[in-house]
């Protein structure tokens, strides 16, 4: 199973998004699915290009709207593994409303955010993940607002799978994505994916000096949401690994009557002439 295609990514050399692409490809192969069983849905931004760089079904959507498309796709075709992907601007600014509701809805898809703390495609403006004081063209005097905390947001929004990876550690990131794909519900994965061109603060070295693996913490229990929150706060959110997983909560689909029957996508949608008009009469 080869999830590589022959499209050359249009990312800057050294961009963290290359590693995310490789990790998705490896994880998909490792879990044993076929390219025809995977759909990658992306938003807008440098990271949004990823749907074109993986040998699978793909849809490059509109800004902040990868999740509604991905959820609709999963509901229409339960047999597809669906990965939604985008940047921190895409998911935590214009798309934040969708992000929170997708998390609490717990549809069985995987959401991977390529978090580089800046808007790269538009050449370097402050994003919701930029730290206070971060200087860019849009905040020459330094950002006034504090950075949004995505993992804490996910935990308090009812997430059943919360993880964080780092582009420099493809091995760990691959195993996180594998677990996310296998999780029966919404898996939220934030990935530190440095923008080497416009973010000269949050570099690979900057992350390496600060990140701690949850596996290195004494007696870490990923089934305990309170511990996940406490450890995130104690480490300024600089943790990688699977922070929290709830294996007991049923997914949205499992609670929808008849969802396990034939997928909508295989239904014969042909209607006899005049039938549609008859249906619409109910609403006149």
Pick out residues in 211-270 that bind ligand SF4 (CB under 6 A).
Answer: none
Which residue's CB is nearer to ligand SF4, number 59 or number 204? 204
Is residue 53 part of the contact set for ligand SF4 (CB under 6 A)?
Answer: no
Pick out residues in 60-99 that bind ligand SF4 (CB under 6 A).
Answer: none
Sign of the torsion formed by the C-alpha atoms of 119, 164, 71 and 159: negative
- Neighbouring C-beta atoms of residue 212, cutoff 10 Å: 15
Is residue 112 part of the contact set for ligand SF4 (CB under 6 A)?
Answer: no
Specify whether the CB–CB gap between 111 and 96 falls below 8 A.
no
From the list 12-20, 102-110, 135-143, 233-241, the region that binds ligand SF4 by CB under 6 A is: 12-20
| Tokens standing for residue 184 | 């029966």
Which residue's CB is nearer to ligand SF4, number 15 or number 103? 15
Residue in 77, 139, 168, 197 binding ligand SF4, rule: CB under 6 A:
197
**Which residue(s) pair with 165 in the sheet?**
191
Which residue's CB is nearer to ligand SF4, number 12 or number 217? 12
From the list 56-64, 92-100, 114-122, 218-226, the region that binds ligand SF4 by CB under 6 A is: 114-122
Helix count (H) and strand count (E) of the chain? 9, 10
Is residue 207 part of the contact set for ligand SF4 (CB under 6 A)?
Answer: no
**Which residue(s) pair with 190 in the sheet?**
113, 164
Pick out residues in 116-135 that bind ligand SF4 (CB under 6 A).
Answer: 116, 120-121
Query: CA 87 to CA 94: how far, in whole Å?
Result: 11
- Residue 139 CB, nearest approach to ligand SF4 (Å): 17
Is residue 20 part of the contact set for ligand SF4 (CB under 6 A)?
Answer: no
Specify whether the CB–CB gap between 198 and 123 falls below 8 A.
yes
- Dihedral of the alpha carbons of 188, 192, 196, 197, in degrees to the nearest 10: 40
**Which residue(s) pair with 41 in the sheet?**
59, 84
Tell me, by CB under 6 A, how many residues bind ligand SF4: 12
From the list 52-60, 102-110, 113-121, 169-177, the region that binds ligand SF4 by CB under 6 A is: 113-121
Query: CA 244 to CA 188: how far, in whole Å?
Result: 10
Is residue 15 part of the contact set for ligand SF4 (CB under 6 A)?
Answer: yes
Which residue from 126, 104, 105 is spatially nearest to 117, judged by alpha carbons? Answer: 126
- Residue 60 CB, nearest approach to ligand SF4 (Å): 15
Residue in 94, 96, 148, 196 binding ligand SF4, rule: CB under 6 A:
196
Query: CA 198 to CA 94: how far, in whole Å?
Result: 21
Which residues of this protein are in contact with ligand SF4, per CB under 6 A? 11-12, 15, 17, 46, 116, 120-121, 195-198
């Amino acid at each position: 199973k080869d999830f590589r295609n022959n499209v050359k990514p249009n990312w800057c050399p050294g961009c963290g998004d290359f590693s995310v692409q490789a990790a998705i490809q490896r994880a998909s192969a490792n879990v044993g699915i076929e390219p025809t069983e995977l759909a990658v849905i992306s938003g807008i931004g440098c990271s949004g290009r990823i749907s074109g760089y993986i040998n699978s079904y793909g849809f490059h959507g509109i800004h902040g709207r990868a999740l509604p498309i991905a959820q609709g796709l999963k509901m229409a075709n339960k047999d597809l593994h669906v990965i939604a992907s985008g940047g921190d601007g895409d998911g935590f600014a214009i798309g934040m409303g969708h992000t929170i509701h997708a998390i609490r809805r717990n549809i069985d898809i995987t959401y991977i955010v390529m978090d580089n703390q800046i808007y790269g495609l538009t050449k370097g403006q402050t994003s919701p993940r930029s730290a206070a004081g971060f200087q860019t063209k849009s905040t020459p005097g330094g950002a006034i607002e504090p950075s949004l905390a995505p993992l804490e947001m996910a935990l308090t929004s009812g997430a059943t799978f919360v993880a964080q990876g780092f582009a420099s550690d493809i091995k760990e990131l691959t195993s996180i994505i594998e677990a996310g794909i296998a999780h029966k519900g919404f898996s939220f994965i934030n990935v530190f994916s440095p923008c080497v061109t416009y973010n000269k603060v949050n570099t690979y070295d900057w992350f390496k000096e600060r990140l701690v693996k949850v596996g290195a913490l004494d007696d870490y229990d990923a089934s305990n949401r309170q511990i996940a929150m406490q450890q995130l706060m104690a480490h300024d959110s600089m943790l990688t690994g699977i922070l929290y997983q709830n294996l007991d909560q049923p997914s949205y689909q499992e609670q929808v009557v008849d969802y396990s029957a034939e997928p909508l996508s295989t239904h014969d949608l042909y209607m006899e002439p005049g039938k549609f008009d008859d249906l619409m009469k109910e609403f006149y």
